[in-house]
Structure 1
Amino acid sequence: MGHEVIGRYYAAFNAGDAAGMLDCVTDDIEHRVNEGEIRHGKEKFAEFCSHMGVSYREELRDMVIFANDEGTRGAAEFVVHGEYLQTDPGLPEAKGQRYVLPAGAFFDLRDGRIARVTTFYNLNDWVRQVSA
């Protein structure tokens, strides 16, 4: 069960399908990003997805998904292949720079949906790549 919902979530991500991602999460989703505030609820998560779709074009490759037998916890490891399209406030200026960044995420799962996602990547590595 955990593998399936995480797989659908990332398939929707790679397809640029924010609605598909939202279908995979609970109404009270807790979204913990690598840098920044915790977002609570589907509305805040949808706002984040919309912002990301404007500022970045990303494809996640080399995906490996892990889940416990109970279907309550999961994790994924992947490599982000991206393009920086529009300047994100507080970050370097966007000029269409491309980047490749190892990343991962941890999940709490409830009733076949994602209740928490915590994403990790090396921000300094990303800044170095888009500033080069």
Structure 2
Amino acid sequence: MNPLDLIRAYYDAFNRRDHVAMLALMTDDVVHDLNQGDREKGRDAFRAFLARMDRCYGERLEDIVAMASDDGSRAAAEYMVHGTYQSTDEGLPEATGQRYVLAGGAFFEIRGGRIARVSNYYNLADWLAQVSAGC
């Protein structure tokens, strides 16, 4: 699979909440850099992250634009996150069904036709302001 098709398949699976399909696109030793957080390693850690995301957030990504390096080893994507904060996530404000829209992006390392690293970014201060205003 070429890098742009790989990234599109990843986000299509995300929007369907198809964890099996997302994980199948990753290497066993995938590295996940959380926005302003820790680095997690492996599919099991990513599976746990996805379960937390599904529990706490209902998100759909729109206006996705993907780019890839000429050699296919790196890719990036930018998108708009349309979400609902549905269950309180540890260390964050109380969830009451607040809706939010914010820009996000990710950087990818690709190895052997699979995602070997994903680093996610969004403006946490913007998200906090949106969910705090919705309380």
Q: Provide TM-score, normalisation by structure 1.
A: 0.98
Structure 1 residue matching 2:27: 3-state secondary structure = strand
Q: 2: distance between equivalents of 1:80 and 1:49?
A: 16
The CA distance in 1 between the partners of 2:36 and 2:74, in whole Å, is: 22
Identical-pair percentage: 52
Instruction: Give the Cα separation in 1 of the matches to 2:32 and 2:4.
Output: 19
Query: Cα offset for 1:35?
Result: 2.2
1:63-121 Cα shifts (integer Å, max 9, x gaps): 00001122110000000000001000110000000000101000000011000000110
Q: 1: CA distance between counterparts of 2:24 and 2:109?
A: 15
Could you say what secondary structure the match of 1:19 adopts?
helix
**1:1-132 equivalence runs, <5 A:** 1-132=2-133
User: Quick one: distance in 2 between partners of 1:101 and 1:66?
Assistant: 20
> CA–CA distance in 2 between the matches of 1:37 and 1:119?
11
TM superposition score normalised by structure 2: 0.96
Distance 1:66 1:114 in 2: 14
d(CA) in 2 for partners of 1:36, 1:86: 19
Provide the alpha-carbon RMSD of the alignment: 0.6
State the one-letter code of the partner of 2:78. Answer: E
Give the gaps of 5 or more residues in structure 1: none
Counterpart-to-counterpart distance in 2, 1:121 and 1:60 = 12
Please list the CA deviations of residues 14-41 of structure 1 after superposition, one character each: whole Å capped at 9, or x if unmatched: 0011111101110000000112210001
Q: Distance in 2 between matches of 1:36 and 1:70?
A: 29
